[in-house]
Amino acid sequence: MEIFKGVHKKGNGLYTKGKNLEEWNPYKSKPAAAILLGLQNFPVKKGQKILYLGAAHGTTLSHFSNIVGDKGLIYGVEISAKIISNLVEKVKKKSNVVPLLEDARFPEKYGWIGNVDLIYEDIAQRDQVQILKRNKIFLKERGIIVITLKAKAIDSLKEVKEIYREAIKELSKDFEILEVLDLEPYEHDHLFIVGNMK
């Protein structure tokens, strides 16, 4: 059964379609977890241009690549040269992915990418909210943002709920928050937040 365009559910499993159906593991990929937890606003759509911050080895990014298809394009920003070499290998047959070895704190370094429909951020850093805000310059009008907020990376001592409250308050200054999901039991102390430009 296709539950969102390009996302299939068979039994308890989720899949996206590349050449074949590829299993989307909710323990390894936060959007898959969010979908299984009842996400309403699935942000990734065919033909989109996406800025993906914290691309890592491309586990999630390759599912996004399946969903956006040939007319879509994903810029995957990753700070680690070692990790990005795995990403490059993984996506070498995907014509719609451009890996970028950059620090997402400095969007001016990849300012040439132009406007995007969606910014997806999965970066476990203390300043993860500020990183997203810096990158909002790329968002089209009414463009969508997703941030997977890792509370313990922001502050390992403060109460998690307090970190969530402060982060949402900060994000709300720039974005209209559409949906907030706690990713338990797939990820501990993580929120999946979807919003759009105000």
- How far is residue 94's CA from residue 102's CA, in Å, rounded to a whole number? 20
Is 117 a residue that touches ligand SAM (CB under 6 A)?
no
| Interaction residues for ligand SAM, span 7-46 (CB under 6 A) | 29
Report, in Å, the least distance between residue 71 CB and ligand SAM. 23
> Which tokens in the block code for residue 56?
């890592």
Alpha helices per DSSP H over the chain: 30-36, 59-68, 81-90, 128-135, 151-154, 160-172
- Listing DSSP states for 21-35 in one string gives EEEE-TTT-HHHHHH
Among the listed residues 34, 43, 44, 78, the single contact to ligand SAM using CB under 6 A: 78
- How far is residue 62's CA from residue 90's CA, in Å, rounded to a whole number? 8
Is 59 a residue that touches ligand SAM (CB under 6 A)?
yes
Asked whether the CA dihedral 78, 82, 87, 89 is positive or negative, the reply is positive
Q: How many residues bind ligand SAM (CB under 6 A)?
A: 18
Among the listed residues 83, 88, 160, 197, the single contact to ligand SAM using CB under 6 A: 83
Is 153 a residue that touches ligand SAM (CB under 6 A)?
no
> Which residue, 73 or 87, is less far from ligand SAM as judged by CB?
87
Bridge partners of residue 176, in order along the sequence = 196
Question: Binding segment for ligand SAM among 11-19, 39-47, 48-56, 190-198 (CB under 6 A)?
Answer: 48-56
List of residues contacting ligand SAM (CB under 6 A): 29, 53-54, 56, 59-60, 77-80, 83, 103-105, 122-125
